[in-house]
Amino acid sequence: MSEPVALLQGTLDLLILKAVSWGPAHGYAVARWIEQATGDALRIEEGSLYPALHRLEERGHIEAEWGLSENNRRAKFYTLTSEGRRQLRAEAASWHRFARAVLAALEAPAHPAAAVS
């Protein structure tokens, strides 16, 4: 297992939105999904996951409701709102553009001056 990568600013929100886009999920489930989906390559501090969830709820991107978990315990479930879905789409698109641009730069074949000639 390689050394975990620190999370880029704003990435956590995007990952959370994606995590709950499959359906209602509690905080632990969100943490687990991120773990699995990234192959545990991204090390998120789980403590910071919850303030992020609450902030997203405040912004209206997700909604929370108390319900029963798979092992029959009271847990707080988060659901993506329609506004959250729009936000997810927009952020995912801009993330893709960013990633592509950075990748393109990293994999550029030659010195820019040479490319001109």
Interface residues with another protein (CB under 8 A) are 26-28, 31, 45-48, 50-51, 53-55, 57-58, 66, 69, 71, 73-76
* Token pair belonging to 50: 């919850």
Q: Which is nearer to another protein, 59 or 86 (CB)?
A: 59
Bridging pattern class, strands 74-80 and 25-26: antiparallel
Q: Which is nearer to another protein, 68 or 99 (CB)?
A: 68
SS3 of residue 4 by DSSP: coil
- Residue 18 CB, shortest distance to another protein, in Å, is 19
What gap in Å lies between CA 30 and CA 94, rounded to an integer?
A: 22
Q: Which is nearer to another protein, 48 or 94 (CB)?
A: 48
Whole-angstrom CA distances from 46 to 16, 27, 43, 57 are: 12, 9, 9, 17
Q: Which is nearer to another protein, 3 or 107 (CB)?
A: 3
Angle between helices 27-37 and 46-59 (to 10 degrees): 110
